[in-house]
A and B are shown apart, each in its own frame.
Chain A
Amino acid sequence: MANILLVEDDDLVRDMLTQTLERASHHVISAANGEEATERLQNEKPDIMVTDIIMPKKSGITLISEVKNRHPHMEIIAISGGGRLDPTGYLDLSESLGASVSFEKPIDNTALLMAIDLLLHGKKENVK
């Protein structure tokens, strides 16, 4: 079981992911954008942050670089559906900023849960 901060601006995806993660016995703290995530992080200490990239107010890219500075031990998973740019471009950028792993939407949730378990048990090298 892990404490997971879920940052996603799409209500449907956020709710669906919350249910999925909770069913896998994780505790979910959710935020609708980067700014909300920064607020949550003042009181909460999650083990893992799962964040979308293209979001209003504060993007996932900014959030990842801030979190990596302030909480260097927190594991980060980046997710993106792309946009005008190639999502692998955003995702590559997230990984170079410190995300442990990244997924392109629509994601295979089994793979996402597996990645969370591996990160939780410190087997970062096996995640990919």
Chain B
Amino acid sequence: MTSNHPQRMWLPYLIAVIGIMGTFVLAYLIKEDVQLNANIHPTIGSYHPTVVIYMVLFLGIGISLLVTILIWMIQQSRLNAVRLNLMNQDLQKSMAETLHAEETKSKLEIALLQGQKLQAMGTLAGGIAHDFNNLLYAIIGYAELSRQDVDKDSITHKNLGKVLDAAHRGQELVGRILTFSRRQHHDFAPIELKTTIEAALSLLKPTIPASVMIHFDPADEQIILGNQTQIHQVLVNIINNAVDAMDGEGSVNIHISTIPKNDPFLHAFPNILQQNYSKIEITDTGHGMDQPTMERIFEPFFTTKEVGKGTGLGMSIVHSIIQEHQGEITVTSQLGHGTTFMILLPMMEGN
């Protein structure tokens, strides 16, 4: 207990000691005075001197104790208020922590659910693709057999050629579905993100209108273990979508940065590894999208483009490629305010 303690807990005891000691001194002085002047003052007022001394002692000690108790009670009530305040702060802090934990948990649950949904769709798509390959094979085979039976200049020969064309288009589509559903084992090699992104941008350049600006903000050298072609595919798909969302004018910003392994930012992702991550953010100034579109963007066959312009597979392939790279991808968007895709890819440890 120190003297600069805000509560001065020693104060009531000091008052009690001083009060009681003072009372005794006062009683002693009165007693001396009465003995000295015993003949002059046989009584004080109407009381006998001994009674007066006892009264002084009784009153003095009583008042001292009362004041002590009063001060002690005031101190206790103040102390309780402080304790209550501290408890309140603790409670608020733990409530905020619980809320944050709940939020993180629900984010994780949503991400897991999304992953499971996409996996289930992948399995389904894989099964359908198998049956489709058989059907397409039958269509192509029979069409070829029939073509052998008819005159090369006949309309039937030409029409069967169209059947074959359509079947081959179907074959390409199945190929793309399978890219989504298969766990293909692509060759992974150390790749440098900056040069990979620059290469993807130079691939895209001829197809992007001059009124759409692409800004790339290269960070330090970041090396990931991955498949260059697949990472190109991811960037090309996202940037093409961004350009499509801009109706010919606007800008796309690409930014890369490093997220250290212990960064709390990583806690919101379910399958995160204990290592540093490269973060790629691709932001466009396009028309953005609403919540329902955002929730379904990585689902296969989901498209907002008109019939024939999109298969609805591009973004699901992007998702499956990022998963194959043990990465994460999220999208944030607001109608009228553009879209941001955020990709996390585990960085290569050591060299």
Hey, which bits of chain A sit against chain B, CB under 8 A? Answer: 10, 12-13, 16-17, 19-20, 23, 54, 81-86, 104-107, 109
Rounded to whole angstroms, the CA-CA distance of A126 and B152 in the bound complex is 32
Instruction: Evaluate contact between A83 and B130: CB separation under 8 angstroms.
Output: yes
Instruction: Evaluate contact between A105 and B133: CB separation under 8 angstroms.
Output: yes
A128 to chain B: closest CB distance in Å?
20
Given contacts A13-B137, A106-B171, 16 further A-B pairs with CB under 8 A are A10-B134, A12-B134, A12-B135, A13-B138, A13-B141, A16-B137, A19-B145, A23-B145, A54-B130, A81-B130, A82-B126, A82-B129, A85-B182, A86-B183, A107-B137, A109-B144
Instruction: Evaluate contact between A106 and B133: CB separation under 8 angstroms.
Output: yes
B173 to chain A: closest CB distance in Å?
12
Question: B residues within 8 A CB of A13?
Answer: 134, 137-138, 141
Q: For chains A and B in complex, what number of residue pairs have CB atoms within 8 angstroms?
A: 67
- Count residues on chain B whose CB falls below 8 Å from chain A CBs: 27
Question: B residues within 8 A CB of A19?
Answer: 141, 145
For B140, the closest partner residue in chain A by CB is A106
Instruction: Evaluate contact between A109 and B141: CB separation under 8 angstroms.
Output: yes
Q: Which of B140, B141, B182 has the most CB of A within 10 A?
A: B141
Instruction: Evaluate contact between A82 and B140: CB separation under 8 angstroms.
Output: no
A92 to chain B: closest CB distance in Å?
11
Q: A82-B126, A82-B129 are in contact. Are A16 and B134 (CB under 8 A)?
A: no
Instruction: Evaluate contact between A84 and B126: CB separation under 8 angstroms.
Output: yes
Q: Is B262 engaged at the interface, CB distance under 8 Å to the other chain?
A: no
For B132, the closest partner residue in chain A by CB is A81
Q: A82-B133, A83-B130 are in contact. Are A17 and B148 (CB under 8 A)?
A: no
Rounded to whole angstroms, the CA-CA distance of A83 and B132 in the bound complex is 10
Rounded to whole angstroms, the CA-CA distance of A81 and B181 in the bound complex is 14
For A9, the closest partner residue in chain B by CB is B134
Instruction: Evaluate contact between B184 and A82: CB separation under 8 angstroms.
Output: no
B55 to chain A: closest CB distance in Å?
103
Instruction: Evaluate contact between A23 and B130: CB separation under 8 angstroms.
Output: no
Instruction: Evaluate contact between A84 and B181: CB separation under 8 angstroms.
Output: yes
Q: Is B345 engaged at the interface, CB distance under 8 Å to the other chain?
A: no
Q: Which of B103-144 contact A (CB under 8 A)?
A: 123, 126-127, 129-138, 140-142, 144
Question: B residues within 8 A CB of A82?
Answer: 126, 129-130, 133, 178, 182
Q: Is B321 engaged at the interface, CB distance under 8 Å to the other chain?
A: no
For B168, the closest partner residue in chain A by CB is A106
B231 to chain A: closest CB distance in Å?
20
Instruction: Evaluate contact between A12 and B138: CB separation under 8 angstroms.
Output: yes
Instruction: Evaluate contact between A106 and B167: CB separation under 8 angstroms.
Output: yes
Instruction: Evaluate contact between B167 and A83: CB separation under 8 angstroms.
Output: no
Question: A residues within 8 A CB of B142?
Answer: 12, 16
Rounded to whole angstroms, the CA-CA distance of A17 and B140 in the bound complex is 11
Rounded to whole angstroms, the CA-CA distance of A94 and B171 in the bound complex is 23
Rounded to whole angstroms, the CA-CA distance of A85 and B126 in the bound complex is 8
A6 to chain B: closest CB distance in Å?
13
User: Residues 307-321 of chain B: 1 if any A CB is under 8 Å from the residue's CB, otherwise 0?
Assistant: 000000000000000
Rounded to whole angstroms, the CA-CA distance of A19 and B146 in the bound complex is 11
Instruction: Evaluate contact between A105 and B134: CB separation under 8 angstroms.
Output: yes
Rounded to whole angstroms, the CA-CA distance of A84 and B185 in the bound complex is 14
Rounded to whole angstroms, the CA-CA distance of A86 and B131 in the bound complex is 14
Instruction: Evaluate contact between B136 and A106: CB separation under 8 angstroms.
Output: yes
Rounded to whole angstroms, the CA-CA distance of A54 and B133 in the bound complex is 13
